[in-house]
Amino acid sequence: MAEISRVGIVGLGTMGAGIAQVCVQAGIEVVGREVDPELGERGRQTIDHYLARGVEKGRLGEDEKDAALGRLSLVTDLGELASCGLVIEAAFEDLDVKRALFAELDGIVEPSAILATNTSALSVTQIAEATRTPERVVGMHFFNPAPVLPLVEVIRTTYTSDEAFETAYAFARRLGKEPVACNDTPGFIVNRILIPLLNDCVRVLDEARVSPEDVDRAMRFGANWPIGPCALIDLIGVDVHVHVSEALHAALGEERMAPPQRLLEMQQAGQLGRKSGHGFYDYEPLS
């Protein structure tokens, strides 16, 4: 397997910027693509902000920060990703959007390049089927925040070649991550287990008339969770959790997968958790 020296990241929102940061800190050149320069620059500023925090906390030097940021280039044209050995798509969670991107990327990158999607809930197989070379398509599901959480689910479809899968798996290890192998099933591993469990925790709030604080304390001190379920949903983002819940419910038809009414109301009210400054708890809004 050829070592990947340049990675394309399509989408520099929360997840894309986090993945790009992990890559540049690992010494890999990143070509970040956004639909307009302003969004790209916002992604660069996010990466710069978190690298600067790393300097403040003594985790890396100022020269290391500058070198890492220097490995990031920004583009708006997908054609600029032609020289990338791996392209990771982190665009909006919409199947049609992702299929259109993969169909276009399939005609841009070299035949040996790997195309990966960071989807958390959509079918990797259906995304791969939009290309003429589905054997080189894999899922690489990073977890938010990508620079902090070590897990990457590496997802194989029925089309994925052994070489593409093994290259993606080895690349995740090179980033210092803990990859796990899984097949393309709804929710993969973590969300298939976690989403209905978190939904149950939210339903307990109303059914048992207990507070978010007490549910979180119960799971922290009774089940040894490092973070309570309400605080975890705030960290993930209520909107993200609802999206994944709805996708899994549509795919599996299991009632426990459906988002609880309380979460739907919180999403409608803009109470999205840490990102908005208010969810189950109050936070300082992200700057």
R_g (Cα) of the chain, nearest Å: 19
The whole-angstrom separation of Cα 119 and Cα 57 is 31
Is 49 an active-site residue? no
Phi, psi dihedrals of residue 38, rounded to the nearest 5°? -65, -45
* 3 state DSSP class of 122: coil
Long-range Cβ contacts of 273-278 (<8 Å, 24+ apart): 273/233, 273/234, 273/235, 273/236, 273/237, 273/238, 274/234, 274/235, 274/237, 275/14, 275/237
Is 120 an active-site residue? yes
The whole-angstrom separation of Cα 170 and Cα 248 is 28
Check 118, 120, 123, 199 and give the catalytic one.
120
The whole-angstrom separation of Cα 33 and Cα 35 is 7
Is 153 an active-site residue? yes
Check 153, 199, 249, 278 and give the catalytic one.
153
* Cis peptide bond N-terminal to 285, omega within 30: no
Check 118, 191, 199, 276 and give the catalytic one.
191
Chain length of the chain: 287
Q: Do 32 and 16 meet the contact criterion of CB atoms below 8 Å apart? A: yes
Q: Do 113 and 88 meet the contact criterion of CB atoms below 8 Å apart? A: no
Is 199 an active-site residue? no
| Nearest one of 113, 115, 280 to 205, comparing CA atoms | 280
Check 89, 141, 276, 278 and give the catalytic one.
141
Catalytic residues: 120, 141, 153, 191
